[in-house]
Structure 1
Amino acid sequence: MRHITQLLTAALLLTGLGLSPVAAGGRDLGREVLGPRDGWAAAEGGTTGGAAAAPEHVAMVSTWAEFRAALGGAQARGDITPRIVYVQGQIDANLTPDGRRLTCEDYADPAYSLEAYLAAYDPATWGRRRPSGPLEEARARSAANQAAQIRQYIGSNVTIVGLGDDARIVGANLVVRDAENVIIRNLELSDAYDCFPAWDPLDGSSGNWNAAYDNLWIANARHVWIDHNTFNDGAHPPATLPTYFGRKYEVHDGLLDITNGADLITVSYNRFENHDKAMLIGSSNTSTVDPGRLRVTLHHNLFRDMGQRTPRVRFGQVHVYNNYYHEPSGAIYSYSWGVGVQSQIYAENNFFALAPTIAPAQVIVDWGGTGLYETGTLLNGRARHNAVSLLAAYNAAHDPDLSGARTWQPMLYERIDPTQAVPALVRAHAGAGRITGR
């Protein structure tokens, strides 16, 4: 699968706990670092995470309170102490240190209720104005209460790794911001549920509900490796969400967003499942920090039952190769590749299995970009005659055309597999609990 450099070959035993994080075969995932050619995160010195952590900064955790403390708690943002955090079993971000589970009612400000909010800001009476006044202020206070509980920053020089095949963090908003050199592996990150989405009647032609939390957000961070994780909505997939004001009451934002000048990121062997907006790369069309950054590699990931943004890109040089796009129903599907302002997507040897209701021309959407380079795509089959140009399909259905010119050449990759091999490889190896060699 990859040749990963091992900084330590000896097993690390956690002092006082008598527990070992060493996986089968003698691999200590906490001490592994990114390979020297494994995508953009390998550039400019590579990514080692917390591999150099001293014993006093190595922790095995099984509760949200322990997890936060191991990262440095409220002081984690900006912290540069090398750390390794091993996650054992399921961690619920809504649990207090004394084991009490908080609900949306616990976070709600006394002056807020959803029923009152819906009545106050119904477009039929409020109109196309953004919510304002005491009830909107109460919603914002409620949101701040929840954020204080579920949001956790991750500092520099950190490795977070799940143990075994059942390590899971539920309900958390993990943020790698203003940090460098971070590794997150072998975890299921599930259901960053926003109890208090904001209604914006000016978002789109009919308005939209906007949630605040990504399962994982990378912002103004460099050298980050996201590997063998599973991202999903847990107990609240899209089909379970109600509709208010004629729009889906969206309680989730992105699964993994990369914005605010983030750079040198590798996203490998992950599973993204049953969610609407998967991955935004780039902050806005007018960002002053994104140009020249947002260099990201996506390889051997599974995108299954996704709505959109796999990924949507602004500005960045993004190498998208050997990914498996599986849309068996098309129930929430909108598009896969979003071509944004000054984006430079290099799409290579990706496999698409699309429901009959999804036309090849739907895979690409132009969000203000000018081109995309595509090669080696297969659609709905393994044989050579299933080769397809999704860019050509898009251009045949839309004007003006997007350019297919190659504006840059990826140089950092370990191997690019034949497209026909991608589904089997990704099904076998992508996601949490599958961090074995190929």
Structure 2
Amino acid sequence: MHKAGITALLAVGLTAATITGPVQAEPTVRPPQPQSREAATPSQHDLGQQVLSDSDGWASAEGGTTGGAAAAPENIYRVNTWQGLRDALGGDSARGDTTDRMIYLDSTVNANETTNGGLLTCAAYADPSYSLEAYLNQYDPATWGANNPTGPLEEARDRSNGIQDDQVRQYIGSNVTLVGVGDTSGIVNGSLTIRGSDNVIVRNLEIADAYDCFPAWDPNDFGGNWNSEFDNISIFESTHVWIDHVSLNDGENPPESLPTYFGQKYEVHDGLLDITNESDLVTVSWNTFTDHDKVMIIGSSDSRTTDRGALRVTLHHNLFENTGQRTPRVRFGQVHIYNNYYNETNEGGYYQYGWGAGKESEILAENNYFELGDGLEASALIHNWGGTMLEERGSFVNGSSKHQRVDLLAAYNTNADIPLGDSVTWDATHHERIEPTQSVPKLVLKHAGSGALE
């Protein structure tokens, strides 16, 4: 399923301090041919000029989503390095910036890339007082117990994480379109963060392996777990966001490849696409989410009641393949999930559930197709995280015909301690044609992900 052009960069060192090489020495930021504001209208062939259609999910409501289509010529960029991309987005001042910007990324860039063309590694980010070996010895539950890590070594881990954060996280401000050029454009080891922004479009990119060099041990997270900092894409406190034809994955570090410490997987990734903290009016369309455990959370915590009335999100025509959980997990939001293809082979044996119905969530799921591997049953596709309702219809499982549709909610409720109600309180009015379920796999496999746009 993965597109070409990213594999070579995925294999770069996470072992030595700095590797220099023939990467371009200076960031390149080149505006294409000047375009006037009058010319910034939807175009069939220029992805940067395309805007979200009037009925395409929640991001089309309440004014719609146009991204940087109104960018002035001096704010239209073509970039091919990580630093060039950061500069085009506004650099350290991008968060909160409202300048109309249109950015074309025409290569695969590595977020560990320095301005002189070298590649930083985990060793380069580490505080002198930190080492994984020392951390494992210090906070081993056999001797440390169930107490949260504290003291100089945990502080050194946190400082190390901050050093890496400064390099690999890039904010995206308001009124921005970021698109990949061709079928081999993307970002390796970076974390795109849309925070406090409005009117953002991200399309036609492969974003892989947002690798956290310094996971934190939490002994009280379901009996103990490693937690990481970076999402491939994070959406916080933002509105009118369209994520489209993006391939999101763990690159060369899928879940089954990770080591185990303290009896738990050493998790170096967080979410592929998380939507939290009062974000609202988001459309997630024609993307691929592959080879990852915790895919997408909508709503950050049960206690964040300010999320009530927000977190309206549409997911349609996405591929979820070889995932573990959270496809998505929802709190509070009104989430429309339709025409998605779930190909869950359970490779690696880490599959847990698909749709998570959390506190005050209202998921409406229509015409989704599931291909389940050995040992996975339809009843496992839903999990109740404190929710009360989930409306679902038109689901196919393992090639069922139109006369043998599977009632996933009924399958879940059969053995559920607390059954979910079958009707949400809202009507889905912001959507395009909902395709017959049996056509979903072919459509999604042909058209979803980066490089599929013409």
Task: Kindly indicate whether the alpha-carbon contact (under 8 Å) linking 2:31 and 2:78 is maintained by their aligned counterparts in 1.
Answer: no
Residue 56 of structure 1 corresponds to which residue in structure 2?
74
Task: Supply the distance in 2 between the matched residues of 1:382 and 1:135 (Cα, whole angstroms).
Answer: 54
Instruction: Give the gaps of 5 or more residues in structure 2.
Output: 1-29, 35-39
Q: Does 1:38 align with 2:56?
A: yes
Structure 2 counterpart of 1:134, which letter?
A: P
Q: Does 1:247 align with 2:270?
A: no
Dislocated runs of 4+, deviation >3 Å: none
- 1:147-186 equivalent positions in 2, closer than 5 A: 147-186=165-204
Residue 345 of structure 1 deviates from its aligned partner by 0.1
**Deviates most, 373-382 or 338-347:** 373-382
Residue 13 of structure 1 deviates from its aligned partner by 7.8
Residue 164 of structure 1 deviates from its aligned partner by 0.3
Task: Kindly indicate whether the alpha-carbon contact (under 8 Å) linking 1:274 and 1:304 is maintained by their aligned counterparts in 2.
Answer: yes
Q: Does 1:257 align with 2:270?
A: no
Task: Kindly indicate whether the alpha-carbon contact (under 8 Å) linking 2:285 and 2:318 is maintained by their aligned counterparts in 1.
Answer: yes
Task: Supply the distance in 2 between the matched residues of 1:396 and 1:360 (Cα, whole angstroms).
Answer: 11
SS, match of residue 397 in structure 1: coil
CA-to-aligned-CA distance 1:343-365 (integer Å, 9 cap, x gap)? 00000000000012101111100
Residue 306 of structure 2 corresponds to which residue in structure 1?
289
Residue 238 of structure 2 corresponds to which residue in structure 1?
221
Task: Supply the distance in 1 between the matched residues of 2:395 and 2:134 (Cα, whole angstroms).
Answer: 50
Structure 1 counterpart of 2:166, which letter?
A: A
Structure 1 counterpart of 2:86, which letter?
A: R
Match of 1:141 among 155, 159, 171: 159
SS, match of residue 70 in structure 1: helix
Task: Supply the distance in 1 between the matched residues of 2:279 and 2:219 (Cα, whole angstroms).
Answer: 30
SS, match of residue 361 in structure 1: helix
Task: Kindly indicate whether the alpha-carbon contact (under 8 Å) linking 1:379 and 1:386 is maintained by their aligned counterparts in 2.
Answer: no
Task: Supply the distance in 1 between the matched residues of 2:453 and 2:350 (Cα, whole angstroms).
Answer: 29
Task: Supply the distance in 2 between the matched residues of 1:227 and 1:392 (Cα, whole angstroms).
Answer: 32
Residue 408 of structure 1 deviates from its aligned partner by 1.3
Match of 1:320 among 331, 337, 350: 337
Residue 289 of structure 1 deviates from its aligned partner by 2.1
Q: Does 1:372 align with 2:390?
A: yes
Residue 397 of structure 1 deviates from its aligned partner by 1.5
Match of 2:284 among 267, 275, 289: 267
Task: Supply the distance in 1 between the matched residues of 2:312 and 2:44 (Cα, whole angstroms).
Answer: 33
- 1:69-218 equivalent positions in 2, closer than 5 A: 69-205=87-223, 207-218=224-235
Residue 369 of structure 1 deviates from its aligned partner by 0.4
CA-to-aligned-CA distance 1:215-257 (integer Å, 9 cap, x gap)? 0000000000000000000111111100000000000000000
Task: Kindly indicate whether the alpha-carbon contact (under 8 Å) linking 2:31 and 2:77 is maintained by their aligned counterparts in 1.
Answer: no
- 1:254-403 equivalent positions in 2, closer than 5 A: 254-330=271-347, 331-403=349-421
Task: Kindly indicate whether the alpha-carbon contact (under 8 Å) linking 2:31 and 2:74 is maintained by their aligned counterparts in 1.
Answer: no
Task: Kindly indicate whether the alpha-carbon contact (under 8 Å) linking 1:305 and 1:327 is maintained by their aligned counterparts in 2.
Answer: yes
Task: Supply the distance in 2 between the matched residues of 1:289 and 1:144 (Cα, whole angstroms).
Answer: 28
Match of 1:408 among 421, 426, 429: 426
Task: Kindly indicate whether the alpha-carbon contact (under 8 Å) linking 2:361 and 2:387 is maintained by their aligned counterparts in 1.
Answer: yes
Task: Supply the distance in 1 between the matched residues of 2:365 and 2:106 (Cα, whole angstroms).
Answer: 36
CA-to-aligned-CA distance 1:271-328 (integer Å, 9 cap, x gap)? 0000000000001001032110000000000000000000000000000000000012
Residue 26 of structure 1 deviates from its aligned partner by 5.6
Task: Supply the distance in 2 between the matched residues of 1:14 and 1:370 (Cα, whole angstroms).
Answer: 52
Task: Supply the distance in 1 between the matched residues of 2:204 and 2:430 (Cα, whole angstroms).
Answer: 23
Query: Structure 1 vs Structure 2: percent identity of aligned residues?
Result: 59
Structure 2 counterpart of 1:237, which letter?
A: P
Number of aligned residue pairs: 417
Structure 1 counterpart of 2:126, which letter?
A: A
Task: Supply the distance in 1 between the matched residues of 2:229 and 2:403 (Cα, whole angstroms).
Answer: 44
Structure 2 counterpart of 1:131, which letter?
A: P
